Amino acid sequence: MQIKWNRILSAVVLPVLLTTPILAAEPSDGRERELVPADWLPRWSDPPAADRPMQIVHGIAPGRATPEAMRFYKDRGLGGVVCNVGFDQYLTSEENWKTLATAVESCRELGMVVWLYDEEGYPSGAAGGVVLKENPALEATELALDASRDEPFIVRPAYEHTHASNNFHAARRYPNLIDDRATRCFLDKTHEAYWRRLEPHFGRTIEAIFTDEPSLIAIDLGQLPEDVRRRVRVVDPIDPAVRPLPCVPWGYDLAEQYRQRWGEDLIERRGSLFGGDSDADRQVRRRFWALIADLVADRYFGQIGRWCAEHRLASCGHSLWEEQLMHHVALEGNGLKVLAQMDIPGLDMLSSDPQVVGHTGWMTAAMPASAAILGGRRRVMTEVSDFSQKLGNQGPVGLAEMQATAAWQAAWGVTDFTLYYGVGDRSADDYRAYGDCVGRLNAVLKPARPAPDVLLYYPIYDLWAEYLPVAGPLGMASQSPRARRIVGSFMRLGQLLQRSQIPFTLIDHEHLAAATAREDGTLAVADQGRYKTVVLPDGVKLPEPAAAVVERFRRYRGRIVAEGDSAPQADAAPQLTGPALIETLRPACRIAPASPWIVLGRFLRDGRTILLVANVASEAYQGHLATDAGPGWLSLDPASGEIRPAETDPDGRILLALQPRQAVLLVQSP
């Protein structure tokens, strides 16, 4: 479980308001169901376990593992559990293993789904400390710069001033994600242990293994507040004499890997990792972080993914600080690349204030949603809760907030909901209603294909060259003017697209270079659809392979929109506004009046366009939606299960009458 203090401080809980019928229409007489494909209706009427949310349960007591006890979760509208062998005597207690086996067998009897959680707490990779207990040499290390020394470069353990010593679970030393041996040890101690005891359930009741917040450690994310820190369990004492220094991740064969790939000595050029404004300095930094990204993607995420494939499981999970673009460099090299290694990439959503999507929530969801598309996959997971609200004494949130939080994530493509909501924080009826709502969203959307037609360039290639490590917490003030311009433009453009109801996919330079420009003016990406527009943040400079694709796209009359001087031949603007963006992009769906709190997702299924429209605000919304998809729409309410004809005005626009926190699925009629 990830705790991000900047999210917690900004969490705001808005009033819980009851939902009412979603569209102004005459009451349904049942005939509308005849217009919905027959194979859609069974899952809509009674969502199966695979479409329902799953409860994260870290400690199953021996007496709570029986079918009678596990039915508690099924009776509350859940489809299954995410669980693990007990944290007490982690991986070593045979009694705990027997309890887990009983719980999994009980889920099999009940038709429930099981995912395994792969760590004792978080971040994943440590096997509860067993990896480093067996081989301390596998600990994460960093190359640090100490200008006060005659020999300023030192290699030291990456522990003090890192996420390993500043998280809510435990202060515990952490393995090195760019060390292939560390991941092999983690797999042997954790995954192989589950396989030996639960193998008959793999690929059947047990569908996936969830890895939680693995990251490179050589970066300061800031200290926990003192009242929180003093309650955190300390496994490995923290040495106060260790000074905060600028640092980058290091590994046993990193210099050799760099020499093999780039043909030059990294040790001789290591000063460029910490400073320098020349093209040569930037080239060293870009090469270094490109290598780091590949090593993390292959040696941790890829190695786990290969193990899961060999053992009939899906790999899934989420990374750290998804919403902080500049941090992606130091935490995993390339956030999109590492997430794309997973079968079910995920996000961490600690807040159930649904309006967070209009602030930074869109970025948290865009990373795994885009990684799934770029990897040719459909499923996306979320770890969701109202932790922020509860910690701020503003929770637990109500059913309306929970459903709206699920709806906006589903609009982004989320299919698998794993819950840290407190089961005891709300009534059984509300929990069932939430499970039914999620199940209905998946009944319609899970077999559908997300259909955004805008690409927003993810500028990790540029940030590799610009990133400069600092002593102390990383902030944008310490980075170059160009880095600040790029990050500011990217985040503003993403928020603007989100608030303008324009679905989009993030794409990095590697996937852009692999895309195909079509003569019809579209860009084909990973066989996952055609895109009509590429949006470039201010200050980016595409590498030649990606630039060549964009140039072909432009020649075929594809639309390129850029802020500032990113693309001289694009439809450029100094700084786009919402109305200007809509006028330039001409999106397929447009609402009026404008509202930043209407979330829209667009999908295709069985030749039909599906729109998920969610009002995440605490006020009702009254307006209309114009679409290029043609007339004839049905309205499906995931909260109530009701199916109605969508009411339209004389111009063919769909009339929207959305209550606070209300969502509607609009399905194109045959």
Q: Is the pLDDT of residue 6 over 70?
A: no
pLDDT tens digit string along 256-277?
Answer: 999 999 999 999 999 999 999 9
Question: Whole-number mean pLDDT of the chain?
Answer: 93
The listed range with the strongest mean pLDDT (238-252, 557-571, 624-638) is 238-252
* Better-scored residue on pLDDT, 238 or 33: 238
pLDDT tens digit string along 315-367?
Answer: 999 999 999 999 999 999 999 999 999 999 999 999 999 999 999 999 999 99
- Name the nearest CA neighbour of 128 among 160, 90, 92, 100: 90
What is the rounded distance in angstroms from the CA atom of residue 492 to the CA atom of residue 575? 9
Q: What is the pTM of this model?
A: 0.94
The pLDDT value recorded for residue 35 is 81
The pLDDT value recorded for residue 169 is 96
Q: Is the pLDDT of residue 16 over 70?
A: no
pLDDT tens digit string along 124-177?
Answer: 999 999 999 999 999 999 999 999 999 999 999 999 999 999 999 999 999 999
Are 340 and 510 in contact, with CB atoms under 8 Å apart?
no
pLDDT tens digit string along 642-657?
Answer: 999 999 999 999 999 9
What band does 569 get if pLDDT is binned at 50, 70 and 90?
A: low
Are 190 and 118 in contact, with CB atoms under 8 Å apart?
yes
Q: Is the pLDDT of residue 2 over 60?
A: no
Long-range CB contacts (within 8 A, 24+) of 37-45:
37/606, 40/443, 40/444, 43/439, 43/442, 43/443, 44/440, 44/443, 44/444, 44/636, 44/641, 45/641
Percent of the chain with pLDDT over 90: 88
Q: Residues 400-423: what's their mean pLDDT?
A: 98
3-state helix, strand and coil shares in percent for the chain, rounded to the nearest 5: 40, 20, 40
The pLDDT value recorded for residue 567 is 57
* Angle subtended at Cα 231 by Cα 226 and Cα 232, rounded to the nearest 5 degrees: 100
Q: Is the pLDDT of residue 20 over 70?
A: no
Q: Is the pLDDT of residue 435 over 50?
A: yes
pLDDT tens digit string along 598-620?
Answer: 999 999 999 999 999 999 999 99
The sheet with strand 621-627 has its strands ordered as 589-592, 621-627, 654-658
The pLDDT value recorded for residue 30 is 62
Please name the residue that has the structure tokens 């209603």: 433
Q: What is the DSSP string of 84-96?
A: -S-STTTTT-HHH
Q: Residues 470-484: what's their mean pLDDT?
A: 97
Q: Residue 449 to residues 68, 373, 529, 587, 601: CA-CA distances in angstroms?
A: 38, 9, 9, 18, 11
The pLDDT value recorded for residue 583 is 87
The pLDDT value recorded for residue 22 is 34
- Name the nearest CA neighbour of 20 among 667, 666, 661, 665: 661
The CATH H-level (homologous superfamily) assignment of domain 589-668 is: Golgi alpha-mannosidase II (2.60.40.1180)
What is the rounded distance in angstroms from the CA atom of residue 168 to the CA atom of residue 301? 23
What is the rounded distance in angstroms from the CA atom of residue 303 to the CA atom of residue 282? 30
Q: Residues 495-501: what's their mean pLDDT?
A: 97
Annotate 101-119 with b (16+ C-beta within 10 A) or e (fewer): bbbbbbbbebebbbbbbbb
The pLDDT value recorded for residue 211 is 98
* Better-scored residue on pLDDT, 3 or 64: 64
- Name the nearest CA neighbour of 481 among 564, 366, 605: 564
The pLDDT value recorded for residue 572 is 56
The pLDDT value recorded for residue 239 is 97
